[in-house]
Chains A and B, each alone.
Chain A
Amino acid sequence: MDRPGDDRHPCALGPMDPLRWSPSPCTSRPPSPRTPPCEMLGHVGIEAVLEQLKIKAMKMGFEFNIMVVGQSGLGKSTMVNTLFKSKMWKSTLPGLGVPMPQTLQLQSVTHIIEENGVKLKLTVTDTPGFGDQINNDKCWDPILGYINGQYERYLQEEILITRQRHIPDTRVHCCVYFVPPTGHCLRPLDIEFLQRLCRTVNVVPVIARADSLTIEEREAFRRRIQHDLRAHCIEVYPQKCFDEDINDRILNSKIRDRIPFAVVGADQEHLVNGRCVLGRKTKWGIIEVENMAHCEFPLLRDLLIRSHLQDLKDITHNVHYENYRVFRLNQSHALPRGPGWVNLAPAPADLTATPGPWKVRWQAHDSSDEEC
């Protein structure tokens, strides 16, 4: 099992090494004067807690909720199937008797997948009909409503008197936004949507169907999109303000440089040079999905699954959910608030209000608000 985080710990000592208090850059909380660091004179076995944590986590299983947003025909369902190497959906082929949905419908499908003893409950939410109408005004409302609805559900569970041991987590951890490969720049619909959503959920934009662009066109398109994102103050995942330390920043800067990834999805296997690979067969060649020279699908997969999955969940829980909670608890303005009281007005019928600029910070000592 490769451990993607290993190179992040310069102080990876073996268990029998005598202790030294190494000022690891991963320290998010330096020892305060009241908690002096103590030298231990021998092996105690504290690090066994990591193993215990792992066992408990594996027993409980993991949950991950992902949402794919984009116009129809951009290959969302295929992408999901490719990501998780299984038939999550039957990919819809256009014009095969399936009528264009008149309204935006969100469809969720949940599966339990297991790999090497790790159980993952995966929920994929699709949004067919997004951006397909003639008038796409407020087409993001149902999506925002859904996301906020999940937060609301979690919040209601959390404030119960007798609550469950493990609250089922249906909050959307990641939203993958498919940008059509026009090659020019972001369209107004894209900008509107991204602006609203990046404050509520982690958004990862990708360039869909990138096989219609050459490598140079892709680069130019990418730069223009990045420029647009910066110009409109859209913070996509991984957000710069949540980098914990220097290692994180370096790692994430590399990722940020390549966002949005140009991806190609495929769920059929073909024989290339004796190997069986997932790819799209065209008259002029086979586009291998997992080949970095052909497209950036491996980067997306690594980001979403192999290295940043836990991070996505943590940011959703600690930042987006907390923002929503603050917003809900502040809704009843008339009531005077004591220091520790829960004020919960009945949930408004319209759950599309966005909480506003991020006020909750990842690190407690970073107190400046970032207005965007």
Chain B
Amino acid sequence: MAVAVGRPSNEELRNLSLSGHVGFDSLPDQLVNKSTSQGFCFNILCVGETGIGKSTLMDTLFNTKFESDPATHNEPGVRLKARSYELQESNVRLKLTIVDTVGFGDQINKDDSYKPIVEYIDAQFEAYLQEELKIKRSLFNYHDTRVHACLYFIAPTGHSLKSLDLVTMKKLDSKVNIIPIIAKADTIAKNELHKFKSKIMSELVSNGVQIYQFPTDEETVAEINATMSVHLPFSVVGSTEEVKIGNKMAKARQYPWGVVQVENENHCDFVKLREMLIRVNMEDLREQTHSRHYELYRRCKLEEMGFKDTDPDSKPFSLQETYEAKRNEFLGELQKKEEEMRQMFVMRVKEKEAELKEAEKELHEKFDLLKRTHQEEKKKVEDKKKELEEEVNNFQKKKAAAQLLQSQAQQSGAQQTKKDKDKKKDSEIAVTLPVRTK
């Protein structure tokens, strides 16, 4: 059956006038209700040196005490610590994730400081991309961990940006919405602050760092965004302690020379930051992350993997073919590697075998040697034994003979001895005499 679909092109869209109330103006409310029941996700990344006031600022921004221990300065490298919280205000549920850079700026060699941060951001994009590319996916239920806003804490030196700051921001500006803020702003005097701010902005511009631009295309928010942009970077003071000012308690920092009120616009730009970050542009931050930064990452990643939209003949490339080719290539490489490994293994085994054989041979030789020696010794000992026995025999014989002789001699000797004795006596007397005279 032939199917003819009469589809008008876009130019034929015409505005139709309604003759009565239809009721679809409740659509935004329907949308909002759906989103409310699902809840919102918001992820903030705080980049700054240790002790610059990141955790305190988060506590102040969200009016709550997030449990955390302050970091030490002894970290060997930069690592990222992410913590999630559920906040609820009236019927809006917010799943807030705060990511801290622990150990940033503490090392002696800060060349690689930005790497863990970039890796973390990329990992979140990767996780989302993986979920999106799955066959059976559940995107509406997915807990979005992509970083929506990056608060970059600038140390209040009063001079200019540090080179570490410039390098890090340059690396991050295409991956995340950067909002630079001057931390601990109560250490800078007002006149210096103005110079500091302009210096920072001009440095950022001259180095080509793309910070987050507050959107000015909608009339409702254009005005407030435009006025706020002038004050970038916001100079903030964070405090969770309350001080009595006038007759009410307010968040402030108490010094001997005065009290710095956090929510006083003359003292610092905290209120502006809160307005911009949460009350006016939260949704825009999320959208920019999704439609600009994430799409850029996705495009780069897919192109890197070899996928293209059209091949040189401008016929749409089938992802399947590319996939097949890549997979075969990959399998081939895998096999080659396997072969190599196997060869190496066999070689090693042979070597080891040879060694072992050598050792065995040596052992055998030793054993033989020992055996021979042992035999020889044994023989020697036996010879000696024999000799000894012979000697003993001889001796016995001699003894026996001697005894016989002795007994014979005794008999004849007994007579002889008498004669001898007499002779001896005589000789003795004879002898003794001369002795006396001597």
Where the two chains meet, the residues of A that have a C-beta atom closer than 8 Å to any C-beta of B are: 1-5, 8-9, 11-15, 17, 19, 21, 24, 26-29, 31, 34-50, 52-59, 62, 64, 83-88, 103-118, 120-121, 138-139, 141-142, 145-146, 159-163, 165, 244-245, 301-302, 305-311, 314, 318, 322, 325-326, 329-330, 332, 335, 337, 339-346, 359-360, 363-364
Contact = CB atoms under 8 A, between A and B. Distances in A.
A301 B89 CA distance: 34
Interface in B274-332: 274-275, 278-284, 287, 291, 295, 298-299, 302-303, 307-309, 318-320, 323-324
Given A21-B88, A335-B324, A337-B135, A42 B63 contact: yes
The interface centre, meaning the residue of A4, A107, A110 with most chain B CB atoms within 10 A of its CB, is A110
Interface in B113-147: 130, 133-141
20 contacts: A4-B26, A46-B282, A52-B281, A53-B35, A54-B28, A55-B221, A56-B283, A57-B28, A84-B16, A86-B16, A105-B3, A109-B8, A110-B13, A113-B18, A113-B22, A301-B22, A329-B135, A335-B323, A341-B133, A342-B319
Contacts of A163: 295
A132 B86 CA distance: 58
A160 B64 CA distance: 43
Sorted nearest first, the 8 A-B pairs with minimum C-beta distance are: A52-B283, A310-B30, A5-B33, A116-B25, A142-B3, A45-B279, A306-B23, A35-B84
Given A111-B16, A113-B18, A104 B1 contact: yes
A159 B279 CA distance: 34
Contacts of B21: 85, 115
A342 B6 contact: no
Contacts of B22: 83-85, 113, 115, 301, 305
A27 to B, nearest CB: 8
A136 B7 CA distance: 25
A123 B75 CA distance: 60
Nearest to A59: B218
B37 A244 contact: yes
A118 B27 contact: yes
B40 A49 contact: yes
A104 to B, nearest CB: 6
Nearest to B12: A110
Chain A at the B interface: mostly helix, strand, loop or mixed? loop
Contact of B1 (A21, A47, A141, A311): A141
B87 interface: yes
A117 B287 CA distance: 22
B143 to A, nearest CB: 8
Given A26-B37, A45-B278, A107 B6 contact: yes
A53 B283 contact: yes
Contacts of B206: none
B20 interface: yes
B53 to A, nearest CB: 18
Contacts of A59: 218
A14 B40 CA distance: 19
B102 to A, nearest CB: 19
Nearest to B10: A110
B318 to A, nearest CB: 6
A335 B36 contact: no
B241 to A, nearest CB: 12
B309 A111 contact: no
Contacts of A118: 24-25, 27-28
Contacts of B171: none
B218 to A, nearest CB: 6
B15 A112 contact: yes
Contacts of B318: 344-346
B92 to A, nearest CB: 4
B220 interface: yes
B433 interface: no
Given A47-B89, A103-B3, A343-B320, A309 B27 contact: yes
Interface in B57-90: 61-64, 66, 84-90
Contact of B64 (A41, A106, A120): A41
